[in-house]
Chains A and B, each alone.
Chain A
């Protein structure tokens, strides 16, 4: 139920965006994420972008995994 999938913003029109979700183009409501730009990644839950994924934080997470392992 609380599943949210990473998707890349392809186009923005007001509160709506077309996103690429694992190769599938879908419409998503982006009113909950401020200052999101084309090319950035968001988490999509039930047709809404619930948050932006910070690329540098994702890289940092992976670095922590590698460092610990």
Chain B
């Protein structure tokens, strides 16, 4: 497949690794912020190929994983309405809430449908005018422009039974929150490629300026990741902190302006709660007032129950890079992809799921 196969060349990968090993063996912590990168790193076995001094930490870039327990509980409550069709990306269905999950509610008769695209949710709304269709809008800057586009379509077509439950989040504020907390030492960021398609490399400039931490925007093939690690090590050795774009076949400094305009037409920035990171100022997107009629939170007022995470689940610490999944007492013993206790084991991009599937107890 074009733009895929040529970025998976084993011989070149081995040569880049050789170059990575040539650096002085100083210990560095590099964080891959994006869950899709976590999966590439594990699936392609990159973690095991790197020298011991290069430590990769997984960050808060799995949207299902960082969704707060309150929001999961609200989504479950929305599903209990018999006149509602919940549409969602697949991974949300099995995330355990405080007392239930969307999967359990589905078992109790709730209409929960897994979809691939927000435009499918809109199609379901058109086909079911007597039902109310709620789309659980999770995701980062890659996904929010699509949701905005579907919402604008709904408004244009005067579709009155389509609603959005927005838990959209923004990546740069979460990166800053991690640096500010100083809980883990991060020497460089492997920045998310597809979030950066939307926001551009300029969006990370404040991180290198304020915190002096190098950033490399990275593509999703094994050679992209290895090359970025090399670029970060080079910056660290030269005591530089710049934003570089390894993934320049898709990412521009200014990002995708059309996508940015779509976001700002439908959403406004808000303070939101992240699992594991608490409330981060200006890190979320809520619907603008003029879209209140489409806002599931305002129209359906989901119950606020006393949300509680499983006290033994280390998902929050895993998302901050403080703990490895293998340091969680539930991991692998009672928490598995078949019976997950926290979202990091549910999501196909969760760090616990990636460890379990490709790394086990390494």
Contact = CB atoms under 8 A, between A and B. Distances in A.
Contacts of A33: 256, 258
Contacts of A47: 116-120, 146
A68 B140 CA distance: 33
Contacts of A69: 11-12, 15-16, 18-19
Interface residues of A, number: 34
Interface in B1-42: 1-4, 6-7, 9, 11-12, 15-16, 18-19, 34-36
Nearest to A3: B36
Nearest to A8: B2
Contact of A29 (B7, B149, B194): B149
Interface string A45-63: 1111011111101101110
A31 B149 contact: yes
Contacts of B227: 64-65, 68
B142 interface: yes
A61 B61 CA distance: 25
A47 to B, nearest CB: 3
A4 B140 CA distance: 13
A52 B6 CA distance: 18
Given A31-B258, A46-B117, A68-B16, A4 B249 contact: no
B258 A62 contact: no
Interface residues of B, number: 58
Given A45-B143, A47-B119, A66-B12, A6 B223 contact: no
Contacts of B251: 51
A31 to B, nearest CB: 6
Given A1-B63, A62-B6, A57 B249 contact: yes
Nearest to B145: A32
A50 B230 contact: no
A41 B2 contact: yes
A51 B256 contact: yes
A8 B2 CA distance: 9
A8 B318 CA distance: 37
A51 B197 contact: yes
Contact of A58 (B1, B3, B12): B3
A50 B1 contact: no
A46 B194 CA distance: 12
Q: Which 4 residue pairs spanning A and B have beta carbons closest together?
A: A47-B117, A69-B15, A57-B249, A6-B3
Given A3-B194, A65-B227, 9 more contacts: A2-B35, A8-B2, A32-B256, A46-B89, A46-B117, A48-B146, A48-B149, A65-B12, A69-B18
